[in-house]
Amino acid sequence: MHAHAVTAAAVAALGAAVLLSPDSSSDARFVRAAQPTVIAHRGASAYAPENTLAAIDKAAKLGFSWVENDVQRTKDGRLVVIHDDNLARTTNVEDVFPGRAPWKVKDFTSAEIAKLDAGSWFSPDYAGARVPTLERYMRQVERNHEKLLLEVKNPELYPGIEAQILKTLSNEGWLNGTHRNRLIVQSFSADSLRTVHQLKPALTTGYLGRPAEDELSGYARFTDLINPSYADISASYVSNVHALKGPHGKHLRLFTWTVNDAATARQVRDYGVDGIITNKPDVVRTALSTS
């Protein structure tokens, strides 16, 4: 453990209206932000259909700059933004292509997916929303001046998807200096994340999950963040994450998910988390500002 790690309690005692550690020198202490970053999960997905352009527009309207998404690949090799490995829950695929069960994303072409309604399942107000391609999605993130926590979803189904995602991000201008600071790539797959780090070492990465404390230093070779479920963390775990430094010489950070109520938001804030991933960013913001 880092000798100078500052605990959440110590920071609170300092009454710190503080910033992240200002530099990455070897003895810089971890100092947490005054409040965690709030990330709109699959967009503001409590209020608009998840992973659609409408969901990131809604996050922007609510005043949030960070959004999260999930990226997978179609039969003809296009990257699309969708959470499940099949299209049934969040589109009308069963009506449009009734003979194509189990409706896997990887078994449909991008032209077929473009025909699907990805909004009506959520509300008639969003009828006609589409499953976005990653290119289209990135352009909307840019238009909204947002920042993106991009999840490589089910990478075991899509060999080579990491390089393909990086190519798309590069084509869209997201791998240069300023944009890179508005981007984090995360995955539940350590192998996938290691690949991303090897292909583009400058990029910020996040591992989705809760490695055992004695395994964290291994993850710190390729990931800048550890992003566990809120049910799996404690103040001590967060502090142990913060004590380590990642591949860019900065203390590891921790974003937790998926926190949709005020009490849990305050609890994880008090644990010292750096980010809260939520379907209801407005609820989390209010919770953090009223206690």
Per rule CB under 6 A, is residue 208 in the interface with ligand G3P? yes
Judged by CB under 6 A, the residue of 57, 117, 151, 162 near ligand G3P is 151
Judged by CB under 6 A, the residue of 57, 68, 146, 274 near ligand G3P is 68
Reference 35, options 268, 252, 278; nearest CA is 268
CB of 12 to ligand G3P, least distance (A): 26
The interface mask with ligand G3P, positions 91-130, x = CB under 6 A, is: ----------------------------------------
Q: Report the run of H or E that residue 151 belongs to, with start and end.
A: strand 147-152
Q: Please count the helices (runs of H) and the strands (runs of E) in the chain.
A: 12, 9
Is the Cβ of residue 70 or residue 117 nearer to Ca ion in the bound state? 70
The answer to whether 254 touches 246, Cβ cutoff 8 Å, is no
Among the listed residues 41, 197, 242, 251, the single catalytic one is 41
Is the Cβ of residue 117 or residue 151 nearer to Ca ion in the bound state? 151
Let me know if 188 is exposed, middle or buried by CB neighbors in 10 A (0-12, 13-18, 19+). Answer: middle
What residues have CB less than 8 Å from 225, skipping those under 6 apart? 184, 186, 204, 205, 206, 207, 246, 252, 253, 254, 255, 274, 275
Per rule CB under 5 A, is residue 84 in the interface with Ca ion? no
The amino acid occupying position 182 is: R
Per rule CB under 6 A, is residue 50 in the interface with ligand G3P? no
Pairing of strands 204-208, 225-227: parallel
* Euclidean distance between CA atoms 65 and 156, whole angstroms: 30
Among the listed residues 2, 4, 83, 242, the single catalytic one is 83
* Residue 277 interacting entry, from Ca ion, ligand G3P, none, C-beta within 5 to 8 Å by type: ligand G3P
Per rule CB under 6 A, is residue 230 in the interface with ligand G3P? no
Reference 115, options 131, 138, 104, 102; nearest CA is 131
Active-site residue 83, yes or no?
yes
Helix (H, G, I), strand (E, B) or coil at 147: strand
Active-site residue 242, yes or no?
no
CB of 255 to ligand G3P, least distance (A): 7
Judged by CB under 6 A, the residue of 56, 93, 138, 277 near ligand G3P is 277
CB of 106 to ligand G3P, least distance (A): 17
Residue listed under structure tokens 């933004």: 81
The answer to whether 93 touches 27, Cβ cutoff 8 Å, is no
Judged by CB under 6 A, the residue of 70, 146, 224, 274 near ligand G3P is 70
For the segment 124-153, give every residue that binds Ca ion (CB under 5 A): 151
Per rule CB under 6 A, is residue 59 in the interface with ligand G3P? no
Judged by CB under 5 A, the residue of 50, 57, 70, 274 near Ca ion is 70
Q: Where are the alpha helices (DSSP H) in the chain?
A: 8-13, 53-62, 93-96, 110-114, 134-143, 161-171, 177-180, 190-199, 216-219, 235-242, 262-271, 281-289
* Residue 81 interacting entry, from ligand G3P, Ca ion, none, C-beta within 5 to 8 Å by type: none
Catalytic residue ranges: 41, 83
Residues that bind ligand G3P (CB under 6 A): 41, 68, 70, 83, 151, 208, 257, 277
